[in-house]
Amino acid sequence: MTGRECYHCKQWVEEGEEHDCWTTTEAALTQDLSEDLQDAWERLRETAASFGDQRIYASHKSIMFSRKSCYFFVRPKRKFLELCVFLGRALKAPQVRRVDRASKSKLVHVIQIRHRDEVEAPVTDWLQEAYELSGGLVSESDAKSKPKPRLNQKGAAWKTIAATKSKRR
């Protein structure tokens, strides 16, 4: 018997057999959840799907929700659903467990959901805000509008090269 052991999942893979341990499905990630978490997951998915056109897919241990970019994802855990929402501002709320910088313009907010009733405002409002921030297809009016200034960590606009050069002269 010739083959190899997968580095990631430690499963034996026969020679010539296709193997992709990173591929998973929503059903596989949510099948072992308790009844309360199953209900919360269904409500969360329905809420997000109602926002409009987007891509919902499973990736490794997460279920991703994206438009032009990912606007939130869910990591199903044994006792809760870990919801990671990308917003352009920091939230201060009891539901938010942690806030980390995800990029220059986005912060990721970590929220734990344990029951269906927790999938309501303000959480749904934050998801809607993240959906709108992630952008979809660029409309003609958006393409013609002036780009927004980039902000540094202190919230001040970055100086343009032209403005800096004109001050030196």
Q: By C-alpha distance, which of 43, 44, 8 is closest to 24?
A: 8
Whether 4 is covered by a domain: the verdict is: no
Whether 33 is covered by a domain: the verdict is: yes
Q: Could you list the mean pLDDT of each consecutive 10-residue stretch along the chain, which spans 169 residues?
A: 75 79 80 95 96 90 92 96 96 95 94 96 96 68 47 48 46
Whether 158 is covered by a domain: the verdict is: no
Q: Against a cut of 0.85, is the pTM above it? A: no
Q: Which domain holds residue 99?
A: 23-136
Q: What is the pLDDT of residue 17?
A: 79
**Structure-token pair, residue 52:** 């409009």
Whether 61 is covered by a domain: the verdict is: yes
> How does pLDDT run across 86-128, given as a tens digit for each residue?
999 999 999 999 999 999 999 999 999 999 999 999 999 999 9
Q: What is the pLDDT of residue 123?
A: 97
Q: What is the pLDDT of residue 8?
A: 64
In whole angstroms, give the CA distance from residue 36 to residue 145: 46
Q: What is the tally of structural domains in the chain?
A: 1
Whether 165 is covered by a domain: the verdict is: no
Whether 7 is covered by a domain: the verdict is: no
Whether 28 is covered by a domain: the verdict is: yes
Q: What are phi and psi of 107, to 5 degrees?
A: -120, 140
Q: What is the pLDDT of residue 7?
A: 67
Q: What is the pLDDT of residue 13?
A: 82
Whether 36 is covered by a domain: the verdict is: yes
